[in-house]
């Protein structure tokens, strides 16, 4: 019988998605101030009524935030001047502040370090391409999954981010893109990937709220199609099943990194709770329910998981569950300073990819961006802490 990790959610009501605890230290977590972006349309109207305002003010404020990316009271002339500033301060508390940027790829990649309301640090990455602009966002402060080759995993988990903290990364990044700060000309933010700091599905409720704030039509949300959203998980199997039933055509990405339980137990410790077979069964189930092809993320690590026989095993596991349901993204590892892990050689990489393609698996090498600017998630936040800022 396989050994499993102790469950932090042992007392959770039946049917709820298990998550790891929010704080590894047990310290009391400060809750983020309530923000308009935390709420759906109905809840916004109720909140404005509680604040002594007419419900239609919720629509006005939503238009400013979701349609115009605006939170400055002086730019909201449709609100009563006598109460405008107090009202705006109430519904748009400052949650996310830019600390620093790192730019690469001729200005087409920008990594931003954000300071949250409680001083916590998270990162997001903007990547512009000829036909699209993609934002990679964080969903947790740190990560509790403890993958040893990951900079964020080595930080441990501090807390979940609120829905509004996640959404603010999107709003502020969209402002930058529209202002021409990425590639020296204005563009539109077209894709959002939840592949930054944290395990998104371990923050399920706030993640789902962020999906709706991003994809709901304006002014309920930003109006970015849910088909342009992707979420990565290292293997929270019950949450995958729950997400499949939400009716959102979000793309699922599985951070697999090994096709065999022996190695994956070491690389991705959550595998000790839900093994490779269970995870791939859940991924196949997601495809069957949603019709959305699943991505398999596979960081190629030198002399660790890049052998041809592991590529053959991966192909066998995927093909045994059918054809046309999955797409593999091998990823050259962004090494973390001080880590024993390093990227595979080009010859090993080519052999691994060639083996998958020969087995009929659609495979595309991930375009690595920002390798010269602390590219791995968590590196910039770690540097800021080490410098005492």
As a three-state string, the secondary structure of the chain is CCCCCCCCCCCCCCCCCCCCCCCCCCCCCCCCCCCHHHCCHHHHHHHHHHCCCCCHHHHHHHHHHHHHCCCCHHHCCCCCCCCHHHHHHHHCCCCEEEEEEEEEHHHCEEEEEEEECCCCEEEEEEEECCCCEEEECCCEEECCCCCCCCCCCCCCEEEECCHHHHHHHHHHHHHHHHCCCCCCCCCCCCEEEECCCCCHHHHHHHHHHHHHHHHCCCCCCCCCCHHHEEEEECCCHHHHHHHHCCCCCCEEEEECCCCCHHHHHHHCHHHHCCCHHHHHHHHHHHHHHHCCCEEEEEEEECCCCCCHHHHHHHHHHHHCCCCCCEEEEEEECCCCCCCCCCECCHHHHHHHHHHHHHCCCCECCCCCCCCCCCCCCCHHHHHHHHCCC
Is-catalytic flag, 136? no
Which position among 136, 150, 275, 377 bears the catalytic label?
Answer: 377
Is-catalytic flag, 123? yes
**Token pair of 51 as six digits:** 């604040």
Which position among 22, 53, 70, 123 bears the catalytic label?
Answer: 123
Q: What is d(CA 356, CA 313) in angstroms, rounded to the nearest whole number?
A: 9
Catalytic residues: 123, 377
């Amino acid at each position: 019988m396989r050994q499993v990790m102790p469950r932090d959610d042992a007392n959770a009501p039946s049917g709820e998605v298990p998550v790891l605890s929010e704080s590894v230290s047990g310290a009391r977590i400060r809750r983020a101030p309530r923000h308009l972006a935390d709420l759906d349309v109905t809840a916004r109207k109720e909140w404005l009524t509680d604040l002594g305002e007419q419900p239609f003010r919720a629509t006005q404020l939503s238009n400013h935030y979701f349609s115009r990316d605006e939170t400055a009271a002086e730019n909201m002339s449709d609100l009563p001047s006598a109460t405008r500033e107090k009202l705006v301060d109430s519904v748009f508390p400052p949650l996310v502040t830019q600390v620093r940027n790192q730019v690469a790829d001729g200005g087409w990649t920008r990594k931003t370090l954000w300071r949250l309301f409680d001083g916590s640090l998270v990162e997001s990455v903007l990547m512009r391409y000829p036909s699209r602009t993609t934002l990679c966002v964080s969903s947790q402060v740190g990560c509790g999954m403890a993958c040893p080759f990951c900079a964020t995993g080595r930080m441990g988990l501090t807390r979940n981010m609120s829905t509004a903290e996640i959404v603010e990364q999107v709003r502020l990044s969209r402002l930058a893109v529209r202002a021409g700060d990425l590639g020296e000309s204005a563009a539109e933010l077209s894709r959002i990937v939840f592949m930054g700091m944290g395990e998104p599905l371990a923050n399920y409720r706030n993640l789902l709220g962020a999906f709706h704030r991003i994809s709901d039509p304006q002014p309920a949300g930003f109006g970015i199609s849910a088909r342009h959203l992707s979420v990565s998980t290292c293997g929270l199997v019950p949450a995958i099943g729950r997400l499949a039933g939400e009716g959102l055509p979000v793309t699922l990405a599985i951070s697999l990194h090994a096709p065999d339980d022996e190695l994956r137990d070491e690389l991705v410790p959550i595998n000790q709770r839900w093994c490779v077979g269970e995870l791939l069964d859940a991924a196949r189930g997601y495809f069957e329910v949603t019709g959305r092809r699943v991505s398999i993320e596979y960081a190629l690590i030198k002399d660790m998981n890049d052998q041809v026989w592991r590529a053959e095993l991966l192909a066998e596991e995927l093909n045994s569950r059918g054809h046309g349901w999955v797409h593999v993204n091998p990823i050259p590892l962004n090494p973390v300073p001080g880590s024993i892990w390093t990227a595979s050689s080009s010859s090993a990489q080519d052999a691994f990819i060639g083996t998958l393609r020969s087995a009929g698996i659609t495979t595309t090498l991930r375009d690595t961006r920002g390798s010269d600017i602390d590219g791995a998630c968590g590196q910039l936040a770690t540097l800021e802490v080490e410098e005492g800022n």
